[in-house]
Chain A
């Protein structure tokens, strides 16, 4: 038998420059056929830039790629697919208004035969344990199902190399396990997998080889079997990480935020209906709401923050006062503070300076900011400076525009702005989404500290590690319904995963079958 080239893909001295930023700096790495190869690194380490070049979505500034030993230029994604490279994106490249089969058809060259294609999708998805209905509209599907579309779409092209960009970030633990089975099977069949992640346990469990990137450079290439999580983390961050520590013995006080059978109708065809959500958040505790994206988190945040007014006043009570029909400002005046998920555009006005952004959320609750209708800019910039100092917000100009800050620094500012008020109740949606490890630790510590000073804190997050790090009690949202809140030390990741997949529904089905 003729031996093929030893390496499927080689990157040699690849450099990618965006303006003044060297996103990839002299990257050299090699991927063997049938190998699951992890690219490990923090946010902004250059992992995504690198794979985008491999997939032809970006062109390297200098350096070269070799495919099966031959130098290649991958001009565009179509060229990559022709070579046998498939990619599953972190933010899916799906078309929400189209059906599963139509989405797949868009990626397939050649004949356009929907009936044949639908049949093929059903067959391949079943074969690899990724069940999918070809006629379903993407907007109606869960995140896990959407990812399956992307994977099946790649598999139909019989790839030699499959690139997965942080695939488990959006999955329940059970869905992730299923994915690992599929990937292991693919690798056994000879398909190489590039697996991007910053989750160390996963990489150790699944991958054969790890390339670690930091600030755009390859800092190490190691065998994950010979490393442990701590040594990998050290290579990834380039130092030791500060561990968040809470005073575990929290003294739960009075109920400060009470949700009583809170329901909310969907406001569009792709929105989720909230059904009879009841929850108490007490002074001195952090309650976290886990769940897979798109199960009603954003609707829930809108309902609690007052962006959408509720039907009845009694559905939401702040410090015993019914405020379900009160707007955002009234709720803020009652001592509540809110940090939405999207920091740029929702949490802060991109083109406004930081001090102006302070005024926007605090003009109603802080009397000193507005006097007889006039904005007190001095007081606003005083607050802004205090937040910048307390939360170590790194910036260029003294009072820069919100959009000029990096994601992590803006998130520190947006959260710091609310914490600075010492609110009696804080609701945060995705506090550390897309934020680097250092800033995450600062934010999580600040959230815990606030609760220990007697505030009630409600955190909505999709990051289970984060939830177990900071929460005293955990509830899970699934299809608009909220589970009971369990003490964090009584809940395992497995149990949470089952709840995330909608365990109460499974129970109902079992009950119906038994009756």
Chain B
């Protein structure tokens, strides 16, 4: 029984950073912006959160620093893609590279230092319920409020939204910033809760999995929760099976979450009925008002 609870807790802990980052990206993509820089924003959140916690001794301040770092990175992305209308895909990829490089530089002196861990209750940390609450909040915001309706409208047809007098660029900036905050927090979770230390590239592709999760969940918050927990379970499974040494090469097991991501994406994308109904029609398209 205790074993069961331990396993479930580990799965939740593995799922939470994926869920946080994916929920942020979901809102960004609902507004029609494709930010492929989740990995970069996450890793910056991780290093800044770790550093701030180390210097102040407060893991809570560390989390705030993570959020701020993620938002700073997303602001950079927003300025380039929304104000200067650069290509979103290329800019997102560059953001990831920038984040990975910059975090390595910032975190050079942090390597090997013991971190500050966020307080938890028998392994149950406050960010686990927060992430689920956030999913509820995002769902409520998108489908029950006027502001959420505007976000979906902007993502569905920016030209129409502009014609009706909505500020497409402003809405997208706010969504991109929210996405940055979520990705930063997800990164902070890694370095302050999951493994309270700083390791270079410690996000190890979780940002990409979060991106895939958004498609997997067909841009719906509750499906994102289900997806994140599923991926959390798979990565824990891979980890647990390794300890039994059944002769399966450990490399193959470590590969499992990524492999499942690819398979899930192919299956979901193949079903156009499912994806196209929810896909924001303006996803990745730059908007320039004609004035």
Contact = CB atoms under 8 A, between A and B. Distances in A.
Interface in A81-99: 81, 89, 92-98
A267 B145 CA distance: 32
Contacts of A57: 163
A419 B149 CA distance: 48
A112 B146 contact: yes
A269 interface: yes
Contacts of B160: 92-95
Contact of B165 (A78, A94, A270): A78
A145 to B, nearest CB: 17
Contact of B157 (A76, A96, A107, A112): A96
Interface in B205-237: none
Contacts of A107: 164
A95 B163 contact: no
Contacts of A56: 165
Given A89-B163, A268-B272, A97 B146 contact: no
Interface in B150-189: 150, 152-153, 156-157, 159-161, 163-166
B56 interface: no
Nearest to B162: A57
Interface string B113-157: 000000000000000000000000000000001100110110011
A112 B145 contact: yes
Nearest to A266: B273
A96 B157 CA distance: 8
Nearest to A102: B149
B83 interface: no
Interface string A100-139: 0010011100001000000000000000000000000000
Contacts of A59: 291
A270 B281 CA distance: 12
A428 to B, nearest CB: 28
Contacts of B152: 95, 97-98
Contacts of B273: 268-269
Given A98-B149, A112-B145, A106 B164 contact: yes
Given A58-B291, A95-B156, A106-B150, A267 B163 contact: no
A93 B163 contact: yes
B277 interface: yes
Most buried by A among B159, B160, B272: B160
A140 to B, nearest CB: 11
B146 A267 contact: no
**A interface: dominant SS:** loop
Nearest to A105: B149
B165 A97 contact: no
Interface string B275-289: 011101100000000
B165 A267 contact: no
A424 interface: no
A106 B145 CA distance: 11
B146 A105 contact: yes
B164 A98 contact: no
A472 B267 CA distance: 48
B281 A96 contact: yes
Contacts of A95: 152-153, 156-157, 160-161
Nearest to A103: B153
A77 interface: yes
A336 B281 CA distance: 34
A56 B165 CA distance: 9
29 contacts: A56-B165, A58-B291, A59-B291, A76-B165, A77-B163, A77-B164, A77-B165, A89-B163, A92-B160, A93-B160, A93-B163, A93-B164, A94-B157, A94-B160, A95-B161, A96-B156, A97-B152, A97-B156, A97-B278, A97-B281, A98-B153, A98-B156, A106-B153, A106-B161, A112-B146, A112-B149, A268-B272, A268-B276, A269-B276
Which 5 pairs from chain A and chain B are nearest by CB? A93-B160, A78-B165, A112-B146, A77-B165, A95-B156
Given A95-B161, A106-B166, 8 more contacts: A59-B291, A93-B157, A93-B159, A94-B157, A97-B278, A105-B146, A112-B145, A268-B276
